[in-house]
Structure 1
Amino acid sequence: MNSDDFFKKKAKLDESLGKTFEDLEKGYNETVRVRNIVDNTRGILDNLDNQFCQKTGLTKADMVFLFTAIGLQISRQYLLTKFPQRLDDQTAANNTLGHEKEKSNRLHRYYQPSLDEIITNPVPFDANIGANGALSGGGKLGHRVTAIGHDPILGLIFGTANIATSTLTTAIFKSYHISTNEKKRDYFKSKASTKLVLSHTLDKLIHQGIEGKTIIATSIMKEIIHLKSDVNTKHSLPLPGISAINPKMASKIASYGFDMSNLSTVVKQSTYSILINSMIAMIHRMFCESDKEIDIKLHEVRTRKIISYSNLIASSSNIAVVAATQNMEFLDLGGLAVTIYRLITDRKFIRDVKEEFIFGAYKNIVMGDYLI
């Protein structure tokens, strides 16, 4: 080995040693840096927590959304979705479209009433004269649970068929022909076949041309109008399907307040509340100015805070009003259910985003410029 080769190897060795010492120094400095971070973890996490609170705190613009949402929810509670006043049966009937033209005058033809007869006569499943126990066992709601035409769902099938065939079908699916007596009142004339009630209805719909289809369309319209007129009466209508299982149970459940009037009101309350929440959320999210995923999530935290706070304030004020006035018509039960759901789900979402923000940022601090 000549001197030139020796010095070249020495230079490479010196360069290698220099790089090694440099790497060792960087490693030492990095170790010190990470140790300092670990020693100050509590302070760093507290600082990141404060940053999260600042980034997700409601701004002046957010407060406009908040008070708008509160105003909409409170207006909805007292103007659109309060529990309706219950009417007696006669008043409800008098308010029904076309009731003044109805009178019993059935020119009985088995399963084949005319269109004019269907229009001018009351629904056949309100008949009770001559029932001889066929409508018994209904408890407080009486024939509204034992005549299946009053079921809010099954009634759309059997009630429509009863109107189209001038019959009455009970909750145990026995059917009777309904006719008019000399005092112009509907009565149970004789037994009918439930199978024929349905088959004649289908025949009108499928095989009797425009006349048959008109009869079915008129019958279902009459059924819907009748159900609607009964919903907000003092006894209302039973919950769907229960009458066919146990009429007395359906009546008992309704006596506890679980009837169609209350159910439809609660559903309406929750639906309108969700609609307002969705509208506020959609408009507020349009104001997010960043395309970064974390920034979008932080903006959604503010959105969810607006919705949760507005629902909570509106529901709290509603409970206070009901307590002060003792007027249960104002109780926003559906809105309260939505509020509870929002508080649970929004709290979980905010907690998850907060953990992602804090620990994601902490990981970046620890990693520094090094990639693993």
Structure 2
Amino acid sequence: MSRFNYSEEELKLNKVIKMNQSESLKMKSDEEMKEIRKIADDRISSSIELLRLLGKGEDVENLSAQIQSRAGKRKFDNKPQVQSWDKLVAEAEEYCPDIVTLEDILTEEEIRASEDELDEIYRQFSKKTGIINKTDLSFLAVATALQVTKSLVFPYIAKKFEYGQGFDSSKRMAHNDNSIEKAHREANDKFRDEHLEKHGTGRWMNILYQTVPYDITKGSADLGINMGGKYHRMYTLGHDPMLGWLFGTANILTDCITFNTFQTNRISRIDPITGGKKMVITAENVSLGKMFKESIDFVKADYLNLPAAIFAQAQHLKSDEYTKVGLPLPILPIINEKFASRLYSEQYDYLCGKRDFKIVASSAFVSMFIDTIIGLVHGMFRKEGEDRDLYEVRTRKILLISNAMASTSTIIKSTFTNDIKNLDIGTLINTLLRLFLDIRFMAKIKREYIEREISTREQKVLDEVDSLYEEWT
């Protein structure tokens, strides 16, 4: 069993090589051909000697010199025709029906020599891309100093922008604040006035002015559903700042409420006994497929239903965003309800997350900016004639190492201080991007370099073989 792995094409190639090897060895060991070559050589030598005895030695020397001067310039009149690859493979399949491995073609010494040659190419690549000269080491020192300093200063700057802190509820408005209700009503009136004259009344009017279904909590306790009281926004997907645009809009169209468990229930707005207004969550479960199908039906029934539902969703999220409870962090209640609940109850909401995201994004941008400057300046030191790709590998190594050291420093600081706010997530993100992109780039360049070196060495051998067919020496 071979210690190497082969692709399908490589197995075909092995068979062709084995067939040619066998044919070459057969020709080399053919005694009849050996005798013919010996007789031909003897006759040529005898003829030259005879010519010398006849006084034609000078002519022989001149002819030999003439032939020597034309070496490499004379062509065969009849060139051997190379078969197509498919035909060669077909012959090889017939010649070697079993699987052929490198061990069947090369001796152990030859395999070891090939591996040694490959190791030598690896060493050449490492030498050409290694950070060993003074210039590269200087750039590495500067890049590391900048990135580490930035990651260590980050917590102090971020603190000025209240990074990682919850909001002060005293600075927020009540959910039924008059200014919020007034702005909401005026926005609805404006949407209505823009479409009423051209379109006329319809269900879209109800969608604009009625309470959104995912704001209803009455009836949840009877169904054994915990909606968290005043924190009910965390348990309903309609209040999710991201998923709400899909589920909230569908809920508004179909009068349903979808919880963070994806359970969906129909809501009722009419008391079945008195016929009066009574908003309650019913026991009727609605599958997501049915809810979205009903949504499509309502959209088809009146083209204005969807814009009205999206508008109502946007206005509701906007009105809740700056209230004392705010909006929950997007998606997190689905992934980890317990953790999301703790953050939400500690008044860390969507606006806090958006603020911190901007801080982290700014940190990542600064790291990338430093990398860009270092990369551009380092590129200016490339010598004329120096391979651009190999030099680029050295540049990326400098940036990768400096970012890794900066990430290590911020992780160590946050660990020793036991404060997650000291962790420069922007630096970590930039380092991860470098790991993903730079390692792929370096692996690509390394593969191309090895293939180019192997091809160059193979081409020398092929040129020698071709000369046997193409040139008369």
**TM-score, normalised relative to structure 2:** 0.47
CA contact (8 A) 1:84 1:232 kept: no
Give the whole-Å Cα distance in 2 for the aligned partners of 1:309 and 1:224: 44
Query: How many Å apart are 1:308 and its aligned residue?
Result: 2.0
Partners of 1:190 and 1:256 lie apart in 2 by 26
How far residue 62 of structure 1 moved from its aligned partner, in angstroms, is 6.2
> Secondary structure at 1:85's aligned position in 2?
coil
8 A contact 1:149–1:156 mirrored in 2: yes
Q: 1:9 is matched with which residue: 60, 66, 74?
A: 60
For residues 185-240 of structure 1, give each alpha carbon's deviation from its aligned partner in whole angstroms, at most 9, with x where no partner exists.
Answer: x97257599579846973798247xxx84x4464233244367559997x944626
CA–CA distance in structure 1, aligned partners of residues 153 and 302 of structure 2: 45
Partner of 2:405: 313
2:250 counterpart of 1:170: no
Identity %: 20
Deviation at 1:149, TM superposition (A): 0.8
Structure-to-structure mapping, 1:29-178, within 5 angstroms: 49=127, 52-54=130-132, 58=136, 60=138, 64-71=142-149, 79=157, 84-87=164-167, 94=173, 100-102=179-181, 112-113=205-206, 117=209, 125-134=214-223, 136-137=225-226, 143-144=232-233, 146-160=235-249, 162=251, 169-171=257-259, 172-177=263-268
Alpha-carbon separation, structure 1, partners of 2:124 and 2:264? 69
Change (3 A) 1:130 1:92: farther
Task: Please state how far the C-alpha of 1:302 moved relative to its aligned partner.
Answer: 3.5
Instruction: Supply the distance in 2 between the matched residues of 1:203 and 1:195 (Cα, whole angstroms).
Output: 12
Give yes or no for the alignment of 1:299 onto 2:350.
Answer: no
Residues 303 and 332 from structure 1, CA distance in 2 versus in 1: closer, same or farther, beyond 3 angstroms?
same
* Separation of aligned partners in 1, 2:429 and 2:239: 28
Letter in 1 for 2:413: V
Tell which structure's C-alpha radius of gyration is larger: 2
Aligned to 1:225: 318
1:96 to 1:189, Cα distance in 2 relative to 1, 3 A: closer
Tell me, yes or no, if structure 1 residue 251 matches structure 2 residue 337. Answer: yes
1:202 to 299, 310, 320: 299
Equivalent residue runs for 1:253-268 within 5 Å = 254=340
Aligned partners of 2:265 and 2:281 also within 8 Å = no
Query: In structure 2, do the counterparts of structure 1 residues 83 and 263 end up closer, same or farther at CA, with 3 Å as the change threshold?
Result: same
Q: Which structure 1 segments of 5+ residues have no match? A: 21-37, 180-185, 243-248
Q: 8 Å contact 2:214–2:256 — kept in the other structure?
A: yes
- Contact 1:236–1:260 (CA<8 Å) still a contact in 2? yes
Give 3-state SS (helix, strand or coil) of 2:136's partner: coil
Q: Distance in 1 between matches of 2:145 and 2:301?
A: 56
**Aligned-partner residue type, residue 10 of structure 1:** E
Structure 2 residue runs without a partner (length 5+): 1-50, 72-115, 186-201, 271-276, 465-473
CA distance in 1, matches of 2:301, 2:324: 29
Tell me what 2:12 maps to.
Answer: none
Cα distance change on mapping 1:204 and 1:321 into 2, 3 Å: farther
Q: Provide the C-alpha distance between the structure 2 equivalents of 1:52 and 1:359, rounded to a whole number of angstroms.
A: 19
Residue 29 of structure 1 is matched in structure 2 by none
